[in-house]
C-alpha cells in the first residue's frame, strides 16, 4: 500500500510539474502596425488568441512605406505590401536590417467598372479584353471617371499607379528611371474624381458617391467585398487588365526579434488550411496555402504579375509626378508647327496623321497613353516666315479636337522658315498662360524640317528669353528635329530652356510626338 501511495504521489507531482512548465505559458500581446484594409480581420483575432495565446493589438494606420515602423514600439507590421518599406531600407543602406516576412494572403490590384461602362469599353476592344491602356484612353476622353486611393499614403494606390505606369512604359519589365522621365499618366489622371487616404476609406465612401465615379481601382478583394455588401445600385464588373497587375501579398513582418516565438505561432496559425479558408471567406483574398482551393470568384488567373521598381527614387518620382489626386491638374502645350514649302506632300501628311493619333485615332497602347485629354489646354501655331494661323482650345470633347485638326489640315504654306521668331511667339503665349494660371504646367513643342532663314536670329531669341520672368523661363521647349532642320541649333535651344530634342528622322513624327507627351 505504501508503495502504491508513493507511486501515485510521484505521478501527481510529475503531472503538476509538466503542467506548470508546458501549459502555463503567459498570454502575449503584440502591437501591430497594420494596413487599414486589414480591419476586416478583427472577427478572427479572438480565435487566434484562443488557439495560440497571442493577442494582436492592431493599429490600422500603416502607410505605403510603413512610416514609423522602425525603432518604434510596434512588434509586428502587417501591410498590404512591404515593397516600399524594403526599398526605403535599401536606400538607407540597411539591407541587412530587413525583418523576417511571411506572405499571408494575396490580391491583385484591378479595376471595377459599372456594367454600363464595362459594356462601353469592351465594345471598343477588338477581342473584348481590357488593358490599363484602355482605361487610360477612356479616362482621357471622359468615358471613365474613377476612384483610387492616394498613392502618397496608400500602398493600394501606389500599386495601382505602378501598374498603370509599367503598362505605359511598354517594356514588360519593372520601371526604370527613364520610364518615368516622361510621365504618360496625364490622361489617366484626368479621369480621377474620387480618392481617399486609404483604399478602405475610399471603398467606405463610394456607396454614397456612386454618381461621381463609374470605376474603382483597388484590390480585387475589396471590390468583391463591396459587391457582396449589397450597398451598390449594381455590382461592379471586375476587370483584370490584360497588360498586367501588381500583386499584394499582405506579409506579416517581425519588427522585434525578441518576439520571434510568438510571431511564429501567429504565422503558423494564419497559414493553416482551415484558417486560410476562413480568411478567404471573410476577406475575398486569395490563399497562399496551395492546399486550399480558391473560391469560385478567385479562380480567374492573375495573369501577368507586374514587377515592382527596384529603386526607391523611381517610386518617389512617380508618386511626386502624379501629385495630389484631390487637386485637379491640367497642362498647356503650345505646338509650333513648320508650314514652310518643304513640308508639302508626305511630310505634312505625316504631321496630320500624328495629330490625328494624339486626338484619339491611334489604337496602340502607347497612343492611348499619349493622347490629348479632357481639360488640357492646347495651342497650335502654324508658321513659315511669319505666323500663318494660331488657335487655342481647352479640350472638352471631340469638337475641340476637330477644331485643332482643321488648323493642322489647312493648306496654306510659306516659302521661308522663321524658327526663332516662332519660338519667341511661343514664349509670349507661354508667358500669358503662366500669368493666367501659375499652377498649370506649360511646355512648348517646336517642329521644323528646315533651317531658320527668316525672322530673328537665335541670339536675339535668347536675349528675349533671358528677359522673361522667372516662371516663364521655367517653360521647357521640346524641339522635334525633322528633315533638314539644324539639329545642333535645336538641341542648343532645348538645353537653354530645360527641354530636350527628339529626332523624328529616327522615329516617325507620330512616335516623336508621343515621346514628348508628358515630359513637362
Does 255 share its domain with 363? no
Residues in contact with 29: Cβ distance below 8 Å, sequence separation at least 6, in sequence order: 54, 55, 56, 57
Q: Which three cell numbers stand for residue 183?
A: 510621365
In a domain, 17, yes or no: no
Quick check: is 361 in a domain?
Answer: yes
Last residue in a domain, options 312, 340, 366 = 312
Indicate the pTM of the whole model: 0.86
What pLDDT score was predicted for residue 330?
82
Picking from 180-184, 334-338, 412-416, which range would have the lowest pLDDT averaged per residue?
Answer: 180-184
In a domain, 120, yes or no: yes
Residues 274 and 373 in one domain: no
Write out pLDDT tens, residues 100-130. 999 999 999 999 999 999 999 999 988 878 9
Q: Does residue 507 register a pLDDT over 90?
A: no
CA distances from 391 to 403, 466, 475, 518 (A): 9, 26, 19, 21
Looking at beta carbons, which pairs linking 276-281 to residues 24 or more positions away fall under 8 Å?
276/105, 278/44, 279/41, 279/44, 279/104, 279/105, 280/105
The DSSP bridge pattern shows strands 76-78 and 100-103 to be unpaired
Let me know if residue 20 belongs to a domain: no
346 burial via Cβ count (<10 Å: 0-12, 13-18, 19+)? exposed
Does pLDDT of 236 surpass 80? yes
Structural domain span for residue 367 = 332-517
pLDDT score of 10:
37
Half-sphere exposure of 352 (CA within 13 A, CB side): 16
Rounded Cα distance between 403 and 428, Å, is 22
Asked whether residue 81 falls in the same domain as residue 185, the answer is: no
| Digit-coded pLDDT (tens) for 3-20 | 344 343 434 343 344 343
Model confidence over 390-413: pLDDT tens digits? Answer: 999 999 988 999 999 999 998 789
Cα 373 from chain centroid (whole Å): 17
**Among all chains, which residue has been given the C-alpha cell 475589396?**
222
pLDDT at 259 over 50: yes
The residue-averaged pLDDT of 318-341 equals 90
Report yes or no on 463 lying in a domain. yes
pLDDT tens digit sequence for 136-156: 999 999 999 999 999 999 999
User: What's residue 120's pLDDT?
Assistant: 96
Does 356 share its domain with 235?
no
The span from the first CA to the last CA of the chain, in angstroms, equals: 97
Higher local confidence (pLDDT), 279 or 483: 279
Closest C-alpha among 513, 474, 471, 480 to residue 496: 474
Rounded Cα distance, 450 and 294, in Å? 63
Query: Could you tell me if 77 and 101 lie in one domain?
Result: yes
The three cell numbers of residue 252 are 506579416
For the residues 41-45, what does the mean pLDDT come to?
A: 96
pLDDT tens-digit series, residues 276-310: 999 999 999 999 999 999 999 998 888 778 888 99
Per-residue pLDDT at 169: 85
Same domain, 55 and 169: no
Q: Is residue 125 part of a domain?
A: yes
Same-domain status, 190 and 94: no
Query: Per-residue pLDDT averaged across 239-256, rounded?
Result: 94
**For 412-434, what is the mean pLDDT?**
95
**The pLDDT value given to residue 327:** 84
Query: pLDDT: is 329 or 444 the higher one?
Result: 444
Residues 305 and 343 in one domain: no
The overall average pLDDT reported for the chain is 90
Q: What percent of the chain has pLDDT over 70?
A: 93
Strand partners, 481: 448, 503
Distance CA 242, CA 130 (A): 6
158's grid cell? 501606389
What pLDDT does 71 receive? 64
What pLDDT is recorded for position 519? Answer: 62
Q: How confident is the model at residue 329 (pLDDT cuts 50, 70, 90)?
A: confident
Structure confidence at residue 118 (pLDDT): 97
Q: Which CATH number do you get for residue 55?
A: 3.40.190.10
Q: Residue 258: its pLDDT value, please? A: 95
Average pLDDT of the segment spanning 270-276? 98
Does residue 147 sit within a domain? Answer: yes
> In this structure, are 344 and 486 located in the same domain?
yes
Do 433 and 489 share a domain, yes or no?
yes
pLDDT at residue number 1: 36
Q: What contacts 430, CB < 8 A, 6 or more positions away? A: 332, 334, 442, 444, 472, 475
> What number is the average pLDDT over the span 233-240?
96
H or E, element range at 164: helix 155-169
Beta-ladder partners of 33:
59, 77
pLDDT at 501 over 60: yes
Per-residue pLDDT, averaged over 504-512, amounts to: 86
- Same domain membership, residue 93 and residue 129: no
Domain count, the chain: 3
Q: In the prediction, which pLDDT does 365 show?
A: 87
287 and 381 within one domain: no
Confidence band for 21, pLDDT divided at 50, 70 and 90: very low
CATH number for position 447 = 3.40.50.410
Kindly tell me if the per-residue pLDDT of 23 is higher than 90: no
Indicate the residue among 280, 301, 322 that finishes a domain: 322
Which residues on adjacent β-strands are paired with residue 478? Answer: 445
Q: Is residue 418 part of a domain?
A: yes
Amino acid at each position: 500500500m505504501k508503495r502504491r501511495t508513493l507511486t501515485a504521489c510521484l505521478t501527481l507531482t510529475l503531472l503538476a510539474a509538466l503542467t506548470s512548465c508546458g501549459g502555463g505559458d503567459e498570454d502575449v500581446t503584440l502591437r501591430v502596425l497594420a494596413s487599414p484594409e486589414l480591419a476586416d480581420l478583427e472577427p478572427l483575432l479572438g480565435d487566434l488568441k484562443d488557439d495560440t495565446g497571442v493577442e494582436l493589438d492592431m493599429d490600422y494606420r500603416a502607410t505605403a512605406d510603413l512610416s514609423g515602423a522602425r525603432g518604434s514600439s510596434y512588434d509586428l507590421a502587417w501591410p498590404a505590401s512591404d515593397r516600399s518599406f524594403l526599398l526605403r531600407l535599401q536606400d538607407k543602406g540597411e539591407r541587412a536590417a530587413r525583418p523576417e516576412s511571411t506572405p499571408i494572403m494575396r490580391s491583385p490590384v484591378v479595376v471595377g467598372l459599372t456594367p454600363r461602362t464595362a459594356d462601353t469599353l469592351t465594345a471598343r476592344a477588338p477581342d473584348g479584353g481590357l488593358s490599363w491602356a484602355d482605361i487610360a484612353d477612356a479616362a482621357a476622353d471622359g468615358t471613365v471617371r474613377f476612384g483610387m486611393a492616394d498613392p502618397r499614403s496608400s500602398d493600394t494606390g501606389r500599386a495601382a499607379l505602378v501598374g498603370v505606369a509599367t503598362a505605359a512604359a511598354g517594356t514588360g519589365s519593372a520601371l526604370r528611371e527613364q520610364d518615368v522621365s516622361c510621365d504618360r499618366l496625364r490622361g489617366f489622371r484626368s479621369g480621377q474624381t474620387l480618392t481617399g487616404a486609404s483604399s478602405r476609406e475610399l471603398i467606405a465612401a463610394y456607396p454614397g458617391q456612386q454618381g461621381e465615379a463609374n470605376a474603382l481601382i483597388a484590390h480585387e478583394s475589396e471590390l468583391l467585398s463591396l459587391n457582396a455588401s449589397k450597398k451598390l445600385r449594381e455590382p461592379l464588373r471586375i476587370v483584370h487588365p490584360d497588360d498586367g497587375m501588381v500583386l499584394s501579398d499582405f506579409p506579416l513582418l517581425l519588427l522585434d526579434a525578441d518576439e520571434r516565438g510568438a510571431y511564429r505561432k501567429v504565422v503558423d496559425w494564419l497559414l493553416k488550411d482551415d484558417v486560410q479558408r476562413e480568411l478567404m471567406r471573410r476577406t475575398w483574398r486569395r490563399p497562399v496555402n496551395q492546399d486550399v482551393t480558391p473560391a469560385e470568384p478567385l479562380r480567374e488567373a492573375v495573369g501577368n504579375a507586374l514587377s515592382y521598381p527596384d529603386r526607391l527614387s523611381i517610386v518617389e518620382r512617380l508618386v511626386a509626378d502624379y501629385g495630389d489626386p484631390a487637386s485637379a491638374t491640367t497642362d498647356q502645350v503650345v505646338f509650333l508647327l513648320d508650314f514652310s514649302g518643304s513640308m508639302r506632300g508626305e511630310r505634312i501628311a505625316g504631321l496630320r496623321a500624328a495629330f490625328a493619333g494624339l486626338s484619339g485615332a491611334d489604337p496602340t497602347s502607347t497612343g492611348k497613353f499619349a493622347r490629348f485629354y479632357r481639360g488640357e489646354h492646347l495651342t497650335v501655331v502654324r508658321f513659315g516666315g511669319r505666323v500663318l494661323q494660331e488657335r487655342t482650345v481647352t479640350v472638352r470633347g471631340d469638337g475641340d479636337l476637330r477644331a485643332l485638326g482643321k488648323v493642322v489640315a489647312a493648306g496654306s504654306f510659306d516659302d521661308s522658315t522663321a524658327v526663332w521668331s516662332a519660338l519667341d511667339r511661343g514664349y509670349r503665349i507661354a508667358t500669358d498662360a503662366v500669368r493666367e494660371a501659375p499652377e498649370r504646367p506649360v511646355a512648348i513643342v517646336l517642329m521644323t524640317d528646315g533651317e531658320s532663314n527668316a525672322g530673328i536670329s537665335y541670339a536675339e531669341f535668347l536675349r528675349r528669353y533671358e528677359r522673361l520672368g522667372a516662371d516663364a523661363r521655367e517653360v521647357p521647349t521640346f524641339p522635334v528635329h525633322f528633315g533638314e532642320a539644324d539639329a545642333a541649333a535645336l538641341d542648343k535651344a532645348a538645353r537653354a530652356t530645360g527641354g530636350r530634342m527628339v529626332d523624328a528622322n529616327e522615329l516617325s513624327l507620330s512616335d516623336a510626338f508621343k515621346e514628348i507627351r508628358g515630359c513637362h
